[in-house]
Structure 1
Amino acid sequence: MPTAIIDGIATYYETAGSGPPLLMFSPGGFNATLDNWRTQGQYRRLNLLGQLTERYTCITFDRRESGRSGGRVERLGWSDYAAQGRGLLDELGIERAHLMGGCVGCSIVTTFAVAYPDTAAGMVLFSPAGGPRYRMLQQDRFARHLAHVAEHGLAQVVALAQAVDKSFSQDPRVGPWSTVIRRDPEFAQRYAQWDPRRYTAVVTGMSRVLFDRDTVPGAEPEDLMLLNIPSLIVPGQDASHATSAARYLQECLPGNEYWDVPVSGQTEDTAAGRVLTFLDAIAF
């Protein structure tokens, strides 16, 4: 099991294929595991990873607090997730890579590009998460978790997380550290001993920092406008991946390529080909 320790947190990752490196930030909300590229929704249908590995070295990983990666109770922002990706490239000795995000991974990709522009060769932003309904859903999820904490306490959150096999996205009561609680008994013990008031402040701040707008969260629009990194935007078309979110990125990112094809037209035969055509045209 390949694991890198990044900022004191274990990161589970895999590499597949050959060619220039492509660092892939997984879809899946608060269950953003590398397996989602193969098993979740449209990504399973499109077989993107299977086709991309034919020409690129695809680096996939479980985002911190997801799957087999570790975590730490702290107020998380997009920059923390971006730093995990940068740390993984450093661990692998890679100075420059293409970036690809699916769903919420697009927010991390744009944050990464702003923070480490010399490291990003190109960006693929596939079905970016965003829109007013998305913001409302995420903020409600945090509120429901904190209501459960207020009523039952953190020890009961640990007991619930260990009793059910659900992520924060599936059952808000278990909170954003549920997978780490299940995997790491020492972490679970420390988590249960947190002062409830301090914990509430951490989670409240996390909700505000992560989901502060009705467009694509992550990098500020003014920073996006200053980027000089080739980008391909592929729109989504539902409540959590509003087409308006993709259009927002189109408006903010200079010189981008916008694949103006509805989700119904994004197929296994067309989607990977469009991504590969974009990546192949970038001088690496």
Structure 2
Amino acid sequence: MALLAIDKGELYYEVSGKADGYPVLLFAPGFLSSRIERWRSNPSNPGVPQAWRDPAPVLEPHFRVISLDVRNAGQSWADIGPDYDWASYTADHLKLLKHLGIGRCHVMGGCIGVSFALALEETAPGTVSAQVLQNPIGLSDTNRAVVDEEVEQWAEKVGQRPEVDKALLKAAGERMFATDFIFSVTRQFTGRCNVPSLLMPGDDTMHPVTVSADLERLTKAEVIAPWKGPDYRDMAIERTRDFLLAHTPKVSA
């Protein structure tokens, strides 16, 4: 168990795999409740395997793998202040990388993890050497009510802590998801982002086909489709491993 002090909070993280391997930072699925266990299981479907493979065991023989519970999810927590936004999360992620002595890394994000990954590269260009974008969330013409419901559920859970100002919490959720696309960055930035990308497209209400289509076009990503379920998830994670290995910077002699 490892905890990193962040601004008015603590970040839970785990490091596994090759101690001298090239680093891979994993952002788990789960919306704003993104935490390590969500790679393996969904609390709303106990005992039912996820439609994807947990990437850590497949990547650990080749890479130094960093996993985390994002702020106010799992074992991580942070104050809800008036400026709480995507930048708050990105500051945590950069602090974790600095704490571990990492200046550059690969990133894999599932669901909201795609938003965290792209925000990291926008804030600190050159940090991400290759990215795997799995099942990205985003806004479509028909899912605003579902997105708002997810925000409300997160706020209800975090708001159970007695020290949390519920008005600031509500404002934070509204502010973070007031925009379109994948919420954390614009299409304009994504079109300028030249990080090698591998995309596993979304195909449901919270992970719209249209958002993945935009990501594919803007990032010129390689695409795995289909990739979910028992018939495809082994192939998808093996291709993920091979993609990251192919884009790992060579160490000069």
Q: What TM-score do you get using the length of structure 1 for normalisation?
A: 0.76
Cα distance in 1 for residues equivalent to 2:13 and 2:69: 6
- Local SS of the residue matching 2:238: helix
Deviations 1:148-181 (A, max 9, x none): xxxxxxxxxxxxxxxxxxxx34xx6x24444xx2
Change (3 A) 1:83 1:234: same
Percent identity, please.
Answer: 25
Higher relative strand content: 2
- What's 2:212 paired with? 246
Contact 2:17 2:60 in 1 (8 A): yes
Cα displacement string for residues 70-89 of structure 1 (whole angstroms, at most 9, x for unaligned residues): 11112432222122111100
1:124 to 117, 129, 132: 132
Contact 1:122 1:230 in 2 (8 A): yes
- The equivalent residue for 2:34 is 32
Q: Are the counterparts in 2 of residues 135 and 212 from structure 1 also a CA contact under 8 Å? A: no
Q: Which moved more, 1:106-115 or 1:242-251?
A: 242-251
* Match status 1:79 vs 2:46: no
CA contact (8 A) 1:52 1:58 kept: yes
Write the mapping of 1:170-181 to structure 2, written as runs, cut at 5 A: 174-178=156-160, 181=161
CA RMSD of aligned residues (A): 2.3
**Residue type of the alignment partner of 1:206:** G
- Stretches of structure 2 that go unaligned for 5 or more consecutive residues are 43-47
Change (3 A) 1:246 1:81: same
| 2:4 partner SS | strand
User: Which AA in structure 1 matches 2:94?
Assistant: R
Tell whether the 8 Å contact from 2:138 to 2:206 is kept in structure 1 after alignment.
yes
The separation in 2 between residues aligned to 1:69 and 1:267, in whole angstroms, is 32
Counterpart residue identity of residue 53, structure 1? E
Deviations 1:14-50 (A, max 9, x none): 0111121101111111321111122237647523222
Alpha-carbon distance between aligned partners in 2 of 1:176 and 1:138, rounded to the nearest angstrom: 17
Larger fraction in helix? 1
Q: 2:57 aligns with which of 50, 58, 79?
A: 50
Q: Where does residue 192 of structure 2 map in the other structure?
A: 226
2:111 is equivalent to residue 109 of structure 1 = no
Asked whether 1:274 is paired with 2:239, we answer yes
Q: State the match for 2:173 in structure 1.
A: 206
Deviates more, 1:232-241 or 1:40-49: 40-49
Judging changes above 3 Å, is the alpha-carbon distance between structure 1 residues 76 and 43 closer, same or farther for their aligned structure 2 residues? farther
Paired residues for 1:65-76 under 5 Å: 65-74=72-81, 75-76=83-84
Are the aligned partners of 1:134 and 1:241 in contact in 2 as well (CA < 8 Å)?
no
Secondary structure of 1:58's counterpart equals strand
TM-aligned CA distance change 1:43 to 1:120, over 3 Å: farther
Q: Give the deviation of 1:141 after TM superposition.
A: 4.8
Aligned pair count reads 240
Cα contact 2:202–2:209 (8 A) shared by 1: yes
- Return the offset for 1:127: 0.8
Query: TM-score, structure 2 length as denominator?
Result: 0.85
The one-letter code of the counterpart of 2:109 is G
Checking the alignment, whether the CA contact within 8 Å between 1:123 and 1:230 is kept in structure 2 is: yes
The worse-fitting range, judged by mean Cα deviation, of 201-210 and 15-24 is 201-210
8 Å CA contact 2:53, 2:233 repeated in 1: yes
Change (3 A) 1:17 1:134: farther
In the other structure, the counterpart of 2:69 is 62
1:10 is the counterpart of 2:10: yes
Cα 1:239–1:204 shift into 2, 3 Å: same
Q: After superposition, give the CA deviation of every residue in 1:249-273 in whole Å (9 maximum; x if it has no partner).
A: 11222x4212232535863320111
Larger Rg: 1
Q: Deviations over 1:99-157 (max 9, x none)?
A: 11100111111111111122111111111112435432122455xx5xxxxxxxxxxxx
**CA gap 1:60/1:43 in 2 versus in 1, 3 angstroms:** farther
Distance in structure 2 (CA, Å) of the matches to 1:273 and 1:96: 22
**CA distance, structure 1, for counterparts of residue 132 and residue 57 of structure 2:** 16
